[in-house]
Structure 1
Amino acid sequence: MNAEEEGRVAAGQFRREHRLGTQPLGDLVALIEQVTGFDVAVLDVGPDEHGLTMRDPKGGAVFIGVARTRKPMRQRSTLAHELGHVRFEDWIDSQAGDWAARRFEEIRADAFARHLLVPKEGLLDFLGDRGALSVADLSAVVQRFVVSPSIAAIALHDAGYIDVALKREWMNLSTPQLAFRFGWIDHYRALQADSQHSRAPQRLLTRAITAYAEGVLSVQAVANLRGIPAEDAKAELDEAGMTPAERPIAWSAADDLPDVDVDLSSLDELLNALDPDGDPANGTAKDDG
């Protein structure tokens, strides 16, 4: 199979394994964490950074990170793309290798992401047997599956709804253009607001909040993990009823302390070796001036 076919098959297998059906996927961060057990974070990084995947070669733990951004559709496709790399175990040393040689893996991960986000069966269920499509139909697909016009256009072409020329034309459209034109700009702004927030891995945050409640972790540490001011973190924790437990200091009574046997014989020998003036008996005086 070529890269496109491998990506399509793997995406279908992933949906079947996790009983995801053919419907649009919701919160991808939560979904990936829940069905795979991987840690996923939305990070505050540079504008040119999209996503990364790391794996502990010894323990096998996997971490997926994506950048927070004002482009929610890109963030979702990046998450799905990185999941594709994990699915195919594309563990490559970033310090070595020919980037051109990785072209196959990148195409395959792109295909996995596209078919995961817009499965052909789900698209057919949504559009049915309608004839010629309009830009309004493209907009509906973009909004329903929460993908970019480019991904939607490719999926529509693969499903036989549009020809190559229309695919290329629609791939040049932007999500804000469609959202404004077809009245779902408020929905898009809500998606933008969500994709701009940093998010800590849920399991890590759970452990941190548990430690805070037990009185062994500061509110500042929880705030740093979430990327918010300490005052905001404290207010939210208080509202949720999370109060640090009092941890009293247990003092021991003197009678409970163990007996200590101290051998002072070496000290006695040293003192006996000194003359009455405090100089070594056989030593040579030094000028400290």
Structure 2
Amino acid sequence: MDLVAVGRRVREERERAGYGQRALAELAGFSQPTLHRIELGTRAQVTLAELDRLADALDVPVRQLTTGSPVRGRVHIAARIDPAVAEDDKERALRLVVEVLELDARLDGGADDAAAAQQHRRRLTAPRPIGTTPEEQGRELATHVRSVLGLGTAPVADVDELIEHLTGVDTAVLRLPQPVDGFTVTDPARDTTLIAVRACDVPERQRFTFAHELGHLLQGDGAEVHQLGGARTPTEQRCDAFARHLLAPLEGIRTWLGPDGRVGTAAGPSVDERTAALLARHFRVSFPVMLIQLECLDLISTARKDALKGPTGVELSQRYGWGPAYEQEIDVSRTVRPPRRILERAVSAYRGQRIGVRVLAMLEGRGVEETQAALREAGLVPEVRTAKRADVTRLAARSHSRHESGDR
């Protein structure tokens, strides 16, 4: 057993659980200096019994400490990130996403969660593209998705729920490092996919990232890094176009504007800032995304688009009357939202005493006491298991029979 690797895993799990060395040492029945040496890998020997005590205190399987996660070694990863992001941030973001899939795999085998144990995957066949440019192909796919779901030209209410309904994959909002917008991670052994985006203070960016990742998923782009900076690949351009047209379809914009001249006349100015802001608000997209769509409709020129750029979502909300509502939406977009299916499984496992409350708290992104209080208020408490009384007479007879067999 590689004691250095074991020690590193113990430290990582301790930090993930939010324990200091002293607190974990007390829980597992070690002295703090002993745990320190175990984490450094300098202790001469670490027994499986000792690792079992540590695993029990950390509420993880002992194999997580001895051999690491089998899930981490087999997942396929697609990340939407800035190319300048540090490797440490990439690894930290990946670890957060993989931990969710690890928990999902760990919950397998429970008799009390059969309904939620597997993703109910739906395979939507993307139409063969007719267009030759990424913009045309992205728009075609978005139109197809809207047709399948019967959305017409209306705004999309919840993109994450749309993804789950359309494809059956899990979605989550996690506290990823700031340069990482999103991850799509697939565990091929369990045919499970998770799309996770960053908890942030720009609701429209969160929605756009979900839609962008859905584009990759539907096109079967596989595991790759989706760079946000530098030259955009045709694949990225196509998924950007898909997200724009899914969230803010051109026909929907035309319908909203109507024939009453709200966009001005040929003799006057085209779409002004207020109109573009109201459109962005209606379709829940960022102001720059709406400006691109208006340019696609030839309602503004490139020069006009560039001149209108600048105001943030917060500034526009205060300027045009939805400031308080936007503040509430920002609070929601900053909140961790674990995958509904996996959280359902975890709560069921908690009630069956298969996992502790700390695991649930980490999944929900909040404190142990807060999670425990919420569970208690909902009447979700661990089931009391009645220990079976041993039949002493039968055990004694079995033991006597073994001794007689051994004497022969």
Structure 2 length-normalised TM: 0.60
What is the percentage of aligned positions where both structures have the same residue?
A: 34
Q: Which residue of 2 aligns with 1:42?
A: 173
Gaps of 5+ in 2: 1-131, 265-270
Q: Which residue of 1 aligns with 2:256?
A: 126
* Contact in 2 for aligned 1:51/1:67 (Cα 8 Å): yes
Q: Which residue of 2 aligns with 1:212?
A: 350
Q: Which residue of 1 aligns with 2:284?
A: 146
Offset of residue 248 of structure 1: 1.0
Query: Which letter does structure 1 place at the counterpart of 2:252?
Result: G
Q: Which residue of 2 aligns with 1:239?
A: 377
* Contact in 2 for aligned 1:150/1:173 (Cα 8 Å): no
SS at match of 2:255: helix
Offset of residue 101 of structure 1: 9.3
Q: Which residue of 1 aligns with 2:61?
A: none
Q: Which residue of 1 aligns with 2:53?
A: none
SS at match of 1:194: helix
Q: Which residue of 1 aligns with 2:241?
A: 111
Distance verdict in 2 for CA 1:93–1:256, change over 3 Å: farther
Matched, 1:32 2:163: yes
Structure 1 distance, partners of 2:243, 2:224, is: 22
Match of 2:365 among 216, 222, 227: 227
Match of 1:259 among 393, 398, 405: 398
Distance verdict in 2 for CA 1:159–1:264, change over 3 Å: same
* Contact in 2 for aligned 1:149/1:170 (Cα 8 Å): no
Distance verdict in 2 for CA 1:217–1:164, change over 3 Å: same
Query: Which letter does structure 2 place at the counterpart of 1:237?
Result: L
- Deviating beyond 3 angstroms after TM superposition, the runs of 4 or more aligned structure 1 residues are 57-60, 99-102, 262-266
Correspondence list, 1:44-123, <5 A: 44-93=175-224, 103-123=233-253
SS at match of 2:185: strand
Q: Which residue of 2 aligns with 1:137?
A: 275
Offset of residue 245 of structure 1: 1.8
Q: Which residue of 2 aligns with 1:10?
A: 141
Offset of residue 151 of structure 1: 0.3
Offset of residue 265 of structure 1: 5.8
Q: Which residue of 1 aligns with 2:112?
A: none
Correspondence list, 1:174-213, <5 A: 174-213=312-351
String of CA shifts for 1:19-72, please: whole Å, max 9, x gaps. Answer: 223211122223322332111111112111101112233443221111111111
Q: Which residue of 2 aligns with 1:161?
A: 299
Query: Which letter does structure 1 place at the counterpart of 2:375?
Result: L
Match of 2:153 among 22, 27, 44: 22
Query: Which letter does structure 2 place at the counterpart of 1:177?
Result: E
* Contact in 2 for aligned 1:23/1:122 (Cα 8 Å): yes
Structure 1 distance, partners of 2:159, 2:224, is: 26
**Aligned-residue CA RMSD (Å):** 2.2
SS at match of 2:180: coil
Distance verdict in 2 for CA 1:256–1:121, change over 3 Å: farther
Q: Which residue of 1 aligns with 2:55?
A: none
The 10-residue stretch of structure 1 (240-249 or 149-158) with the greater mean CA deviation from structure 2: 240-249
* Contact in 2 for aligned 1:74/1:148 (Cα 8 Å): yes
Offset of residue 251 of structure 1: 2.4
Structure 1 distance, partners of 2:232, 2:324, is: 39
Structure 2 distance, partners of 1:19, 1:206, is: 29
Structure 2 distance, partners of 1:203, 1:223, is: 16
String of CA shifts for 1:247-285, please: whole Å, max 9, x gaps. Answer: 11112211343724245569xxxxxxxxxxxxxxxxxxx
The 10-residue stretch of structure 1 (130-139 or 52-61) with the greater mean CA deviation from structure 2: 52-61
Computing the radius of gyration from Cα coordinates, the structure with the larger value is 1
String of CA shifts for 1:138-185, please: whole Å, max 9, x gaps. Answer: 111111111111100011121232222222222333212211211211
* Contact in 2 for aligned 1:68/1:195 (Cα 8 Å): yes
SS at match of 1:69: coil
Query: Which letter does structure 2 place at the counterpart of 1:222?
Result: L
Query: Which letter does structure 1 place at the counterpart of 2:161?
Result: A
* Contact in 2 for aligned 1:43/1:66 (Cα 8 Å): yes
String of CA shifts for 1:90-141, please: whole Å, max 9, x gaps. Answer: 11355xxxx9897011101101110011011211221112332221111111
* Contact in 2 for aligned 1:142/1:175 (Cα 8 Å): no
Structure 2 distance, partners of 1:58, 1:219, is: 28
